[in-house]
A and B are shown apart, each in its own frame.
Chain A
Amino acid sequence: MGKHLDTVTGLVLVGFSGVVYFIVKDFPTGTAKEGMGARLLPLLLTILLAILSISLLIQGLIRRRTGSGEAEVSLPLLGAHLKIPAVLVVLLVLYLLALDPLGFLIATPVFLIVVMRVLGSDWRSSALLGVSFTAFIYLIFSLLFQVPLPTGSLLE
């Protein structure tokens, strides 16, 4: 995959430019009085993006990549190690969905505890941090800053 990274990325981006162009082409062209309307700059950018993406694609095809250009060690694109980030994303989604019905004070400790467990903590530390941190955040934001945090609509 590493060898074809630029190629695939270039291809995806070309596709993306195409989709964006499809949306942008219907924007109204304006007059000089309106600074040429809503269409001009997005259109220019989309075209530029398409050109750059094709360049990337070609670059990927010509140069068979031998290594990474970054200082960081980059892990392969797909693999089992993506499991934890994926789980975190799912957890965040669930948390956001649960915030309104359950409210901040219930959803947050649960969220934090599960996240800690997923990251490898034991039940005790997770519970400790989950609850104490929720309380801490609640005090700071809700009482000190007076930011209203979601209250459970299910419970009202």
Chain B
Amino acid sequence: MFGEIDFLSFYMAGIARTFQPDVLFFLVLGTLIGVIFGVIPGLSATIGIAILTPFTYKMSTEASLALLLGVYCGSTFGGSISAILVNIPGTISAIMTVLDGYPMARKGEAGRAIGLATVASFIGGLLSIFALAFLAPLIAVWALKFSAEEYFAITVFGISVIAYVSTGTMLKGLISAIIGLLLAMVGVDPTTAYPRFTFESTYLLGGLPLIPLMVGVFGFAEVLRMAERDPSAHRLVTSISRIVPSLREIVGLFGTLVRGSAIGIFIGAVPAAGGSIAAIISYGVEKRISSHPETFGQGEPRGIAAPESANNATTGGALIPMLTLGIPGDLVTALLIGALIIHGLFPGPLLFKDHPEVISSVIISLFLSNWVFLAFGLLGARYFAKLITLPRNVLLTMILCISVVGTYSIDNSITDVWVYLCGGLLGFILTKVEIPVSPLVIGFILGPMVESYFRQALILSYGNPLGFFTRPIAAVFLLLTVLLMVAPYLAEKLFRSRLKPLTSGD
């Protein structure tokens, strides 16, 4: 297919369509809104795009896409700002950025962390666009060969990675993840429609809603945690200086950035795997291959560069299956498909053939959006951050208010806000008993997928559990999962026998 397309005229047409005043205006606006939505916990690209899509009826196709793609890019980056400054991921793809971004901020290096996140996001996004532009056909074709067994194995592996990298022991991480998976099973069983854990409630038939739960578990719990402390203890970083990282530092992180981007592009291209999974795996990989894994979680630059390049790289990656096959790479691309349909365009191979200028405009808009948030981040992070440097009382109240109203606005449902409240209590209690919270949220998100793949695989193998191991890719990932779980214990056994004489009376 690509052999028939003249690359030059393909991109010239796209440039011509994109460099129009209205398209450029909405591109910048979209990116700005995206960063703001990203920074504010409780608001995300999903909400932003969902709310803005109806407004795009009257806009040109390219302008609509520019607006929404801008929100997509901007928010993936914006989430890192609040992750770094207040330990709350602004969007779920920043879930790993808190681990090293926040400690770095507490050390007084918030500017550096934000600079790293900005540049890492930019590079991740840029590399992913090149991949999109040139690898789209290849990657999409390979991903099509995946079946339920592979998806199951990959998602289980992803969950184990999170349990591994989260604070606390792997045991607690797994416990947290399983609780999350169980919470995901609240609602109607997808295949047999049997209501599970619904306790006669119609609301629960639809399952626990994701965003209210996440905002509660991260946002409200953090509000409670902050409220617990002595008012005089300043957990907020107020000075942000030296945002632009030195060229030397970036070059030093070259390997991390390329690895992260590669992971992000690949994960993004796998349908239904998104920025958060890429960030998690990238962080885990980086920590695993590091010669000083103990620095992770204490403010290690790689701990920011890896997940941030990975999550932004999923933007380009996720568009690969979406544009070439019409399969959403994540929730956001699903909404983007909706936006295209509004304009009478159906993504897929036909779109490549009949309207190549739209595809090329998408690629170029994405490309430009990355530059826009690079500028916002490096030049204006201070202003976005100001949103967070308000006095503690004001900040807590604002976070509380915005997250409550933001949660409500998803579905006009006060019940959603009750979920938010319960999520907050849950998150708060878990932190108190030193069980990590991220695995729970990830387990919850991946839960429906895990179950769906699990059961599909069983259907395909007529109930034979060995079916998972007969397919090589699935078997590999499952093996890796087991290794991941066992490794800490093996390592501990080894170290314990060496350290015993050194510890005084355990």
- Complex partner residue of A9 from B227, B412, B414, B433, CB under 8 angstroms: B433
| Among B7-15, B17-25, B174-182, B237-245, the stretch in contact with A | B174-182
Instruction: Mark contacts of B150-172 with chain A using CB atoms, 8 A cut-off: 1 yes-contact digit, 0 otherwise.
Output: 00000000000000000111011
Instruction: Mark contacts of B466-506 with chain A using CB atoms, 8 A cut-off: 1 yes-contact digit, 0 otherwise.
Output: 00000000000000000000000000000000000000001
- The answer to whether A77 and B432 have CB atoms under 8 Å apart is yes
- The answer to whether B171 and A89 have CB atoms under 8 Å apart is no
- The answer to whether B228 and A84 have CB atoms under 8 Å apart is yes
Count of A residues near B, CB < 8 Å?
67
Describe A's contact surface by its main secondary structure. helix
Closest B residue to A140 by CB, please name it.
B405
Chain A min CB distance to B456 (Å): 6
Closest B residue to A24 by CB, please name it.
B196
- Interface status of A88 (Cβ within 8 A of chain B): yes
- The answer to whether A45 and B181 have CB atoms under 8 Å apart is yes
Chain B min CB distance to A8 (Å): 8
- Interface status of B394 (Cβ within 8 A of chain A): yes
Closest A residue to B451 by CB, please name it.
A41
- The answer to whether A46 and B182 have CB atoms under 8 Å apart is yes
Instruction: Mark contacts of A80-100 with chain B using CB atoms, 8 A cut-off: 1 yes-contact digit, 0 otherwise.
Output: 011011001100110110011
With A9-B433, A74-B434, A116-B397 known as contacts, the answer to whether A145 contacts B229 (CB < 8 A) is: no
- The answer to whether B192 and A120 have CB atoms under 8 Å apart is no
- Complex partner residue of B397 from A46, A77, A85, A112, CB under 8 angstroms: A112
Instruction: Mark contacts of A111-150 with chain B using CB atoms, 8 A cut-off: 1 yes-contact digit, 0 otherwise.
Output: 0100110011100010001000100010001000101111
- Interface status of B458 (Cβ within 8 A of chain A): yes
- Complex partner residue of B414 from A28, A45, A99, A129, CB under 8 angstroms: A99
- Interface status of A15 (Cβ within 8 A of chain B): no
Chain B min CB distance to A86 (Å): 9
- The answer to whether A38 and B192 have CB atoms under 8 Å apart is yes
Within 8 A of B (CB), among A29-60: 30-38, 40-42, 45-46, 48-49, 52-53, 55-56, 59
Residues of B within 8 A of A23 (CB): 197
Residues of A within 8 A of B451 (CB): 41
With A55-B171, A71-B298, A96-B417 known as contacts, the answer to whether A35 contacts B459 (CB < 8 A) is: yes
In the complex, A9→B463 CA distance in Å?
A: 36
In the complex, A21→B397 CA distance in Å?
A: 40
- The answer to whether B456 and A35 have CB atoms under 8 Å apart is yes
| Size band of the interface chain B makes with A | 35 or more
- The answer to whether A89 and B185 have CB atoms under 8 Å apart is no
Instruction: Mark contacts of B372-412 with chain A using CB atoms, 8 A cut-off: 1 yes-contact digit, 0 otherwise.
Output: 00000000000000000000111011101110110011001
Closest A residue to B417 by CB, please name it.
A96
- Interface status of A5 (Cβ within 8 A of chain B): yes
- Interface status of A20 (Cβ within 8 A of chain B): yes
- Complex partner residue of A82 from B172, B228, B454, CB under 8 angstroms: B228
Highest count of chain A CB atoms <10 Å: which of B192, B230, B298: B192
Residues of B within 8 A of A40 (CB): 454-455, 458
- The answer to whether A96 and B393 have CB atoms under 8 Å apart is no
- The answer to whether A71 and B167 have CB atoms under 8 Å apart is yes
- Complex partner residue of B412 from A89, A108, A147, CB under 8 angstroms: A147
- The answer to whether B192 and A30 have CB atoms under 8 Å apart is yes
Closest B residue to A56 by CB, please name it.
B171
- Complex partner residue of A137 from B167, B182, B197, B401, CB under 8 angstroms: B401
- The answer to whether A96 and B414 have CB atoms under 8 Å apart is yes
With A35-B454, A35-B459, A74-B432 known as contacts, the answer to whether A63 contacts B506 (CB < 8 A) is: yes
- Interface status of A75 (Cβ within 8 A of chain B): yes
- The answer to whether A150 and B397 have CB atoms under 8 Å apart is no
- The answer to whether A119 and B432 have CB atoms under 8 Å apart is no
Residues of B within 8 A of A119 (CB): 227, 231, 392-393, 396-397
Residues of B within 8 A of A49 (CB): 175, 178-179, 182
- Complex partner residue of B393 from A63, A116, A137, CB under 8 angstroms: A116
- Interface status of B223 (Cβ within 8 A of chain A): yes
Residues of A within 8 A of B185 (CB): 41-42, 45
With A59-B171, A85-B224 known as contacts, the answer to whether A92 contacts B458 (CB < 8 A) is: no
Chain A min CB distance to B33 (Å): 11
- Interface status of A61 (Cβ within 8 A of chain B): no
- Interface status of A156 (Cβ within 8 A of chain B): no
With A75-B228, A85-B428 known as contacts, the answer to whether A112 contacts B401 (CB < 8 A) is: yes
In the complex, A149→B20 CA distance in Å?
A: 37
- The answer to whether B182 and A56 have CB atoms under 8 Å apart is no
Please list the residues of chain B having a beta carbon within 8 angstroms of any beta carbon in chain A.
51, 103, 167-169, 171-172, 174-175, 178-179, 181-182, 185, 189, 191-192, 194, 196-197, 220, 223-225, 227-231, 297-298, 392-394, 396-398, 400-402, 404-405, 408-409, 412, 414, 417-418, 421, 424-425, 428, 431-435, 450-451, 454-459, 462-463, 506
List 16 other contacts, CB 8 Å, given A56-B175, A85-B228, A137-B405.
A34-B455, A35-B454, A35-B457, A48-B178, A64-B506, A68-B434, A69-B434, A71-B298, A84-B227, A88-B227, A93-B421, A96-B418, A115-B397, A129-B397, A147-B412, A150-B414
Please list the residues of chain A having a beta carbon within 8 angstroms of any beta carbon in chain B.
5, 8-9, 13, 20, 23, 27-28, 30-38, 40-42, 45-46, 48-49, 52-53, 55-56, 59, 63-64, 68-71, 74-75, 77, 81-82, 84-85, 88-89, 92-93, 95-96, 99-100, 108, 112, 115-116, 119-121, 125, 129, 133, 137, 141, 145, 147-150
